Structure 1
Amino acid sequence: MTHSNGEKHFPAASTSERTAVRQPVIALMTDFGLRDGFVGIMKGVIAGIVPQAQLIDISHDIAPQNVAAGAWLLSTAYRYFPAGSIFLCVVDPGVGSQRRAIALAAGDWFFVGPDNGLFSYVLAEQPLRQVVALENPAYRLPVVSTTFHGRDIFAPAAAHLARGVPLAEFGTALDPHSLQRLALSQPRREKGRIEASVIYIDHFGNLVTSIPLTLVPDLFTAPHVRLLVPRRNLTIERRQPFFAGEAGEGEPFVYSDSAGYVGVAIRNGNAAATLGITVGEAVTLVIEES
């Protein structure tokens, strides 16, 4: 509705709509896949504790045990969720070992999962407000297995957080400096060259590099840009900001990934498989201004 002064006003939310806004959100991200019942079991545990919670799946197809991929994927997603959302994240090759189970508040959100570097990007991007070890047996299942902490520890913790249980009730406060962190790539631009690496490969086989678009505002305006993959003796000179550009079928090109990084794709093809490039591959972006 538009008033005579030109300002737009919207009808007040109904009681049911206001209630929906306050509905707790739990977002799940794992490497469990959907073939087995692991994800459904975790959701069942949550439903038994906080049935009113809204459960949202980020992904369950992270490559098994690939903590780095999980950390990056989480970093691309969490900002799009409402304040107070709880992220239940399980990529946990160290399950059953001495690695800690943790819950933390960072920025406007809460995160639950293993202390193995999975929250590295979040910790680098958001102020850490509180972090605790998940120790209190009152907020676990009665029997804790050595192989499925997603069910026995993390899902109950996320559910009780959604119920409003304060973080301090879950266990001992931890020193933020003791948290496990991945060595995140931080490329720098020096004399038109940026040394970087491939940090993620998506479902379509598109390659995401560690080069943020903010580092290359002239990616599509500089006269000449080349992406080098030294180990493959490969040079990519085509660039376009979107997929439906001038690149021909099977031709690789540099593009702007939706998460804000420089990416490599092949139109209607799988760049990773076609080019034989894997996560961790070193790349160099060369920008020539003349």
Structure 2
Amino acid sequence: MMNPLVLQSDFGLEDGAVSAMKGVAHSVSKVVSIFDNTHDIPPFDIWTGSYRLLQTVSYWPENTVFVSVVDPGVGSGRKSVVVQTENNQYIVTPNNGTLTHIYYKIGIKQIREIDEEVNRLPMSGASHTFHGRDIYAYTGARIAAGVISFDNVGPELAIEDIVRLPFYEPKLEEQSISGTIDILDVRFGNLWTNISRELFLQLNIDYGEAVEIEILHDTRRVYHNKVTFGRSFATIQIGEPVLYVNSLDNLAVAINQGSFAKAHNIGTGSSWHIYIK
């Protein structure tokens, strides 16, 4: 039975790298369905690669196979793996932190190291810089097309062997919530936090009320202001900031018809902290 194959990478689309990955997949099966998650992950940004998996994996059916290649350590001793999630999907990726969000927010049943003696594109053994094509797309397509089962990937590893980036859960303390800025809604420059709507509701804030927002990069304050909690962007004036619930049911910060990230030079990851009071 054929299952979807979903690709993401930091390769961009300026050259033929993504096309080569798709060509390899079709060399395994001419009828396997291939989809793109994104290929615009910033170069070498493992954290963003991890989040983009979390953002989309749950919306795909069981047995979907994801190939995620953000691999600054290609050719090093880092391991190539396939994991089975708690929702019975598969992710083919380097074990370099890309699985952080899946590990903490969805859960992982099993992890197997890819046996490159079996699961590697034939005649590619001399190349050590394009594992996305030679190992991950090839192995992912073989799983999606039913050529191999998960058990045929290679030896099982311990769940504790999964490499994880620093990760912080949001906290509610008195009348303040602390969290991290996990990612940007890139095209619009909105800040997406890891603070859930359910946690925020415990502050008893209604739409139209103002909250105090403070953003720190490590210990340096980058932003501090009062912001309106709005149902949508249309509830505030153009150019004004708004706190809202995003499509993943988490809190986000935006400027109506502007880029909050560019306006205040704000980045993402576990070193970017946000406080809502």
TM over 0.5: yes
Equivalent position of 2:91 in the other structure: 111
Counterpart AA for 1:125: K
Q: Please give the TM-score of this superposition, normalised by the length of structure 1.
A: 0.86
Counterpart in the other structure of 1:260: 249
Task: Name the residue aligned to 1:11.
Answer: none
Three-state SS of the structure 1 residue aligned to 2:7 is: strand
In the superposition, relative to structure 1, how do residues 81 and 256 fare at CA in structure 2: closer, same or farther (>3 Å)? Answer: same
In structure 2, what is the equivalent of residue 39 of structure 1?
18
State how 1:5-154 maps to structure 2 within 5 Å: 23-107=2-86, 108-142=88-122, 143-144=124-125, 145-154=127-136
Q: Which has the larger displacement, 263-272 or 215-224? A: 215-224
For these two proteins, the number of residue pairs brought into alignment is 264
Shift of the 238–126 alpha-carbon distance from structure 1 to 2, 3 Å rule, reads closer
Stretches of structure 2 that go unaligned for 5 or more consecutive residues are none
Instruction: Work out whether residues 229 and 235 of structure 1, in 8 Å CA contact, stay in contact via their aligned partners in 2.
Output: no
- Displacement after TM superposition at 1:168 (Å): 2.1
Residues 111-170 of structure 1 show CA distances to partners (whole Å, capped at 9, x for unaligned) of 101001111121223343321111142321131322110001001100110122112222
> How many Å separate the matches in 2 of 1:126 and 1:134?
22
Bigger relative CO (Cα 8 Å, ≥ 6 apart): 2
Aligned partner of 1:242: which letter? S
Structure 1 unaligned runs (5+)? Answer: 1-21
Q: Distance in 1 between matches of 2:209 and 2:253?
A: 19
Question: How far did 1:29 drift?
Answer: 1.1
Task: Mark the CA change 1:99 to 1:285 in structure 2 (over 3 Å): closer, same or farther.
Answer: same
- 2:138 and 2:249 map into 1 onto residues whose CA distance is 34
1:197, distance to aligned residue in structure 2 (A): 2.3
Select 2:183's aligned residue among 170, 195, 200.
200
The aligned counterpart of 1:161 is: 143
% identical equivalent positions: 31
Structure 1 residue aligned with 2:206: 220
- Is contact 2:7–2:38 with CA below 8 Å preserved after alignment? yes
1:284 partnered with 2:271: no
Equivalent in the alignment of 1:171: 154
Please tell me the root mean square deviation across aligned C-alpha atoms, in Å: 1.7
Larger Rg: 1
Is the 1:187–1:196 contact (alpha carbons within 8 Å) kept by the matching residues of 2?
yes
- TM-score under structure 2 normalisation? 0.90
Tell me, what secondary structure is at the counterpart of 2:228?
A: coil
Q: What is the identity, as a one-letter code, of the residue corresponding to 1:283?
A: I
Letter in 1 for 2:7: L
Residue in 2 aligned with 1:189? Answer: 172
Q: For each residue in 1:175-233, what CA deviation from the matched residue of structure 2 results, as whole angstroms up to 9, or x when unmatched?
A: 11111012222011010111222111122111111212221124435955221225124
